[in-house]
């Protein structure tokens, strides 16, 4: 499979992060263009296949912005004001359009981790 996918896990609650909004941007120098907004399902994944695929899957610099604060509040997690984590941006590059780029996110109210998955 080629394209861009993600998976979000709530490490504080030990479950997938359901209904977490994610904005995808493509960057060209200082220009940041909104490409798409998606939301995670009950498994912490995005329905409908890859976030980017086919002719839209191009080499370049991208940013996924995870709306962690909104998700954590909606899940009943008490957060200070302002929250330590609110928006979690992950900027990454796509160099090989014949490959699969998987960008998972592990979140809690006070930390996050990501990596290039498979």
Q: Is 115 annotated as a binding residue?
A: yes
Q: Is 7 annotated as a binding residue?
A: yes
Q: Is 110 annotated as a binding residue?
A: no
Beta bridge partners of 52: 4
Our CA dihedral for 114, 100, 6, 82, rounded to 10 degrees, sits at 40
How far is CA 82 from its chain centroid?
21
Q: Which residues are annotated as a binding site?
A: 7, 45, 115
Q: Which residues are annotated as a binding site for substrate?
A: 7, 45, 115
């Amino acid at each position: 499979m080629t394209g861009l996918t993600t998976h979000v896990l709530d490490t504080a609650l030990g479950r997938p992060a359901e209904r977490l909004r994610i904005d995808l941007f493509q960057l060209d120098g200082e220009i940041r263009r909104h490409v798409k907004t998606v939301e995670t399902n009950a498994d912490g994944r995005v329905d409908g296949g890859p976030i980017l695929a086919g002719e839209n899957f191009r080499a370049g610099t991208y940013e996924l912005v995870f709306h962690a604060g909104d998700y954590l509040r909606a899940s009943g997690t008490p957060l200070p004001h302002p929250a330590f984590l609110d928006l979690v941006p992950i900027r990454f590059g796509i160099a090989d359009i014949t490959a699969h780029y998987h960008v998972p996110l592990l979140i809690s109210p006070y930390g996050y981790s990501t990596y290039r998955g498979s």
